Chain A
Amino acid sequence: DQQVKQNSPSLSVQEGRISILNCDYTNSMFDYFLWYKKYPAEGPTFLISISSIKDKNEDGRFTVFLNKSAKHLSLHIVPSQPGDSAVYFCAASGRNSGGSNYKLTFGKGTLLTVNP
């Protein structure tokens, strides 16, 4: 039973355009959501997070949107750059986690390719 779902295994966009990566979750106990970026042969690195009390969080070119009623979140990258090409993992943690990243549940990841 997959509690965090990333239904698109891959996404290809042109440099300068917007990249939108999607994530759905089924567990209503999740209240904190994070995105991680992973290059080949490296560990994932933290990118951006959002608490369930918010519906948007922005950090430079990266914005995460949360739709709690639909149990859906998305990561927007604007403008996309070739260096953004990586696997992006969506992750979630449970209620009463205090906004922490304790015991994260990860999706399968989406491979983003940004073409020059």
Chain B
Amino acid sequence: NAGVTQTPKFRILKIGQSMTLQCTQDMNHNYMYWYRQDPGMGLKLIYYSVGAGITDKGEVPNGYNVSRSTTEDFPLRLELAAPSQTSVYFCASSPPVGQGDGYTFGSGTRLTVV
């Protein structure tokens, strides 16, 4: 059971480039999330999804886009990378209400924009 898998683990982007951070879970969880963690800061919610075809903005959505075409996959797209997007990105999933406790996180993607 792999849990939540994120790729790539590390990436360096130039300003203005674009990329997609991949996230896949094999636990059949309805809910999926993207968080970013800046140095010395907590995790801030970028986007989340309550099921395939349904996504919504979190606390810091600007500069990002997501899609949820399947239950398993929840990719995060950066269109025009900016230095402010240098961060560690975590994808997570969780089961429906009453069916378990706690998020399952991926191991993170460390992104540097130069």
Contacts and interface: CB of A to CB of B under 8 A. Distances in A.
Is chain B a partner of chain A in the same complex?
A: yes
Contact of A98 (B48, B97, B107): B97
B102 A106 contact: no
B90 A43 contact: yes
Query: For A43, A97, A103, which residue has the most chain B Cβ atoms within 10 angstroms?
Result: A43
Interface of A: 4, 6, 9, 34, 36, 41-46, 49, 89, 97-109
B75 interface: no
A38 to B, nearest CB: 9
Interface string B90-114: 1010101110011111111000000
Majority secondary structure, A binding face? loop
B107 A101 contact: no
A108 B101 contact: no
B107 A42 contact: yes
Contacts of B44: 106
7 contacts: A6-B42, A41-B108, A43-B4, A43-B106, A44-B105, A89-B43, A104-B45
Contacts of B45: 103-105
Interface in B1-47: 4, 31, 33, 35, 40-45
Contacts of A42: 107-108
A46 B101 contact: yes
